[in-house]
Amino acid sequence: MSKATDDLIQSLSAHVPKVAAGAVARRVALGLGLGAIGSVILMLIWFGPRHDIAQAVATPMFWMKLGYAAATGLIAAVLLTRLARPGARPGRLAALTLAPFALVALMAVARMVQAPPEAYRAMLMGHSAMACPWRILVIGLPVLAGAVWAMRGLAPTRLALAGLVAGVAAGGTGAAVYAVACNETSAPFLAIWYTAGIVAVTALGALAGSRLLRWR
Amino acid sequence: MLAGLAGEAEPYRRLLKELSGILRAYYARRAPPGIDAEDLVQETLIAVHTRRSTYDTGQPFTAWAYAIARYKLIDALRRGRLHLRAPAEEADDMFTPPAAAGGADAAMAARDLERVMAGLPQRTRDLIRATRIEGLSIRETAEKHRMTETAVKVAIHRGLKSLGGAYGGSDVEGD
């Protein structure tokens, strides 16, 4: 039909390098991985690991914080790989992203029920409630940048959704990194303030997604 | 496409060629005024090529290519600052093979019809639905809507004509 289009097809098919299987997953992993390295460096400069880190690694709470954040980030990362393809739907995995939170929330409620009312304030607010979400937001930013870089080279077609999921992945990763520096020890604190931090990065990703993830 | 991913040029060229025909038909009907459909065809071919790593070999190729085509259309609308509503159909609309016709196809056709008619006045829509889908006669329809038979005929005629104008007179989603 069109001469120009025919020429284009000729030139496109003149050079067709082989594409390795798993290229999408590798790129997403690379973006998130480089971002996570950035987050760790940021955390080390800003706070450094908590001073009692040697003892903390023996406590379940340390691993619960790390586990909650990392699991959320990881599930979102898998979901992000899916959304990097045109026409993809999130499917059941989307609900699974909330599973770690549900677990932590249950645990938080269980602790609150057992505790005397005088202890509520300390359990809910810790000593860093107001700072925690903001720190997670900032520490999550390098990961968000990495996710955006990865996605721009792929082909997401639902940009706001992809941005939102990139935000969850970045927020989860950022919170996991921050968990190494944070010495809060209550499950309710984790359920509220870590989640608030992850939600902050998620909101940023969702808002910026339709602009930042646009590809030509 | 599998051959293309494996680096074989000739089958890949044939695929792009065939795809360009499908895309031309797709954009001919959808490209907004002021945007050249052939430009969109070319942009989509380039995107298909440069982003071919995002094709999941376990999925239908057409659904993947169509999703890119739709993205490019929305992108063009956005860039053109034309705040038109993007087509809301799902990836499998265009490529549902006739062999798969039946319940799903009929449902899809009904949905398409509703979407197409959304631009018409409520009364006209009701009249068209009554006569063309439910199979009522002009007189029955006129009685039901308390109109004269002539008024019903005129309204239906105008409604169909304006649909024809908006959709180039061809059948609406058929291939």
Q: Any idea of the CA torsion for A162, A169, A211, B31, to the nearest 10 degrees?
A: -10
At residue A95's C-alpha, the angle toward residues A89 and A99, to 5°, is: 150
Residues from chain B that touch A154, judged by Cβ atoms under 8 A, are 51, 53-54
Do residues A161 and A97 lie in contact, with contact meaning Cβ atoms separated by under 8 Å? no
User: How is residue B85 annotated by DSSP?
Assistant: P
Residue A111 to residue A122: CA distance in whole angstroms: 12
Residue A4 to residue B58: CA distance in whole angstroms: 32
Q: Does A154 touch chain B (CB under 8 A)?
A: yes
Residues from chain A that touch B63, judged by Cβ atoms under 8 A, are 87
Q: Do A8 and B45 touch (CB under 8 A)?
A: yes
Q: Does B25 touch chain A (CB under 8 A)?
A: no
Based on the number of CB atoms within 10 Å of its own CB, is A78 exposed (0-12), middle (13-18) or buried (19 or more)?
middle
Query: What residues in chain A have per-residue pLDDT under 50?
Result: none
Closest CA to B63 of A114, A3, A88, A13: A88
Predicted confidence at residue B175, as pLDDT, reads 34
Predicted confidence at residue B125, as pLDDT, reads 79
Convert the pLDDT of each residue in B59-92 to its tens digit.
Answer: 889 899 999 999 999 988 887 754 444 444 444 4
The CATH number of whichever domain residue B81 belongs to comes to: 1.10.1740.10
- Amino acid at site A183: N
Q: Do B71 and A86 touch (CB under 8 A)?
A: yes
Q: How far is A12 from chain B (nearest CA, A)?
A: 7
Convert the pLDDT of each residue in B21-72 to its tens digit.
Answer: 999 999 998 888 788 899 999 999 999 999 999 998 888 898 999 999 999 9
Predicted confidence at residue B167, as pLDDT, reads 54
| Contact residues for B65 (Cβ-Cβ < 8 A; gap 6+) | B19, B22, B23, B44, B48
Rounded to 10 deg, the angle between the A99-114 and A60-83 helix axes is 150
Q: Which two tokens stand for residue B9?
A: 């040029």
Do residues B149 and B157 lie in contact, with contact meaning Cβ atoms separated by under 8 Å? no
User: How is residue A59 annotated by DSSP?
Assistant: S
- Amino acid at site A163: G
Q: Do B51 and A154 touch (CB under 8 A)?
A: yes
Minimal Cβ distance to A5: which of B20, B47, B51: B20
Minimal Cβ distance to A8: which of B42, B64, B75: B42
- Each domain of chain A, given as residue ranges in start order, spans 19-212
Residues from chain B that touch A215, judged by Cβ atoms under 8 A, are 51
Closest CA to B27 of B36, B18, B14: B36
Predicted confidence at residue A84, as pLDDT, reads 96
User: How is residue B80 annotated by DSSP?
Assistant: T
Tell me the residue range of the domain where B55 lies: 2-91
Do residues A166 and A151 lie in contact, with contact meaning Cβ atoms separated by under 8 Å? yes
Convert the pLDDT of each residue in B87-129 to its tens digit.
Answer: 444 444 444 444 444 444 455 455 556 666 777 777 777 877 7
Q: How confident is the model at residue B170 (pLDDT cuts 50, 70, 90)?
A: very low
Do residues A17 and B7 lie in contact, with contact meaning Cβ atoms separated by under 8 Å? yes
Do residues A33 and B22 lie in contact, with contact meaning Cβ atoms separated by under 8 Å? no
Tally of domains in chain B: 1
Residues from chain B that touch A10, judged by Cβ atoms under 8 A, are 13
Q: Does B47 touch chain A (CB under 8 A)?
A: yes
Q: Do B57 and A21 touch (CB under 8 A)?
A: yes
Best B48, B51, B54, B79 residue to mutate vs chain A (most A CBs within 10 Å): B54
Closest CA to A39 of A197, A161, A151: A197
Q: Do B68 and A13 touch (CB under 8 A)?
A: no
User: How is residue A154 annotated by DSSP?
Assistant: S
Minimal Cβ distance to B24: which of A1, A17, A87: A1
Please, what sign has the CA dihedral across residues A84, B66, B80, B163?
Answer: negative
